[in-house]
Structure 1
Amino acid sequence: MGRNVDFKQFEQFKKKLEKTLDDKSRKKFMEDCAKELAARLLSRVIKRTPVGKEDGGTLRRGWTGGVENTSEKGNVIGVGGKSGAASQINVVYRNGEYRCAIFNPVYYASYVEYGHRTPNHDGWIDGQFFLTISENEVNALAPALLEKRLMQYLQEGFK
């Protein structure tokens, strides 16, 4: 009462799935997701960054993507990278995480972001929180975006 079962299609499916989900394509998928989130953050923070009357947009033009340089203990010791387009955002895999950095090297960026005392120390200038607000927006949309990208990635294995 035995039956013969043909597993050829199953084996073909298994090979295709393994090829789709191999380490190289998985790494590329993760890097692409990190780059997309970083690009969205960069886009939002650039639009939200205020332009001063005196400097004419130096702070806004200062945004760039790069990689945090960390010591063996994980302490940030500097940030580096190329300025310009989001396509140049560097993604590094370190300690089980894919990392990239969006930063602004303009010396007064943190003062505009978080606020500062007036030059005569009599008052306080409130921060604009352009980066903080942009980060919160990207964090809110990240789960849905990553789920969509993951479904597209997995569907490649089922074609």
Structure 2
Amino acid sequence: MSDFEFDFTEFKEFADHFDDMLNDKNFLLDVANELGNGMLGALKNNTPIGQYDGTVFFVRGGKLLKFKPKDAAKKSGGHLARSWFLSPALQMGDEILVEATNNVEYGPYVNNGHRTADHTGWVEGQFFVEASMDEVEANLDPILMNRFLNYLRRFGVS
């Protein structure tokens, strides 16, 4: 028999830290919030900005209304893009939810498409929400890998 001694102290310390890391909900929430911020930026960048000649159209009570506003703010676009906001990441059971919302009534019509006001044609959707999610998914692996490696460094893993 040979005399062999091995000090498990450092290994045990690493294992304890690793176990703590795997159970650290703050890490997961931080990553989810970072992804949410990326999603919010993509949504704001991809949301189309309306170009107006000063004439405003809308339908009220089944009637097509058209007018030229006096207020310059109503002539400029960007309201839909400015109206995105992000809720903080929330853990629900085994899942983490990050929600970007937009309360502008016409947003779904711009994204998905809609009939024209006179019901004779179709305005194609811009699908900016889908494009934004594709951007987030494309950046998902690098973001997760970078955050995970930084997180491991906190526990002495290099």
Equivalent-residue separation in structure 2 for 1:43 and 1:123 (angstroms) = 32
Indicate the percent of aligned positions where both proteins have the same amino acid.
33
In structure 1, the gaps of 5 or more residues are 67-89
State which structure, 1 or 2, has the greater radius of gyration over its C-alpha atoms.
2
Equivalent-residue separation in structure 1 for 2:81 and 2:111 (angstroms) = 12
Equivalent-residue separation in structure 2 for 1:9 and 1:120 (angstroms) = 74
Q: For residue 72 of structure 1, what is the aligned residue in structure 2?
A: none
Match of 1:108 among 106, 109, 114: 106
Match of 1:95 among 85, 93, 96: 93
- How many residues align? The count is 133
Q: Any conservation in 2 of the 1:115–1:128 contact (CA below 8 Å)?
A: yes
Q: For residue 31 of structure 2, what is the aligned residue in structure 1?
A: 33
* AA of the residue aligned to 2:36: A
Q: For residue 151 of structure 1, what is the aligned residue in structure 2?
A: 149
TM-score by length of 2: 0.74
> Could you list the per-position Cα deviations for residues 53-83 of structure 1 after superposition, in whole angstroms to 9, with x for gaps in the alignment?
24532111110112xxxxxxxxxxxxxxxxx
Equivalent-residue separation in structure 2 for 1:22 and 1:10 (angstroms) = 16
Equivalent-residue separation in structure 2 for 1:108 and 1:45 (angstroms) = 15
SS in structure 2 at match of 1:100: strand
* AA of the residue aligned to 2:120: D
Q: For residue 47 of structure 1, what is the aligned residue in structure 2?
A: 45
Q: For residue 77 of structure 2, what is the aligned residue in structure 1?
A: 56
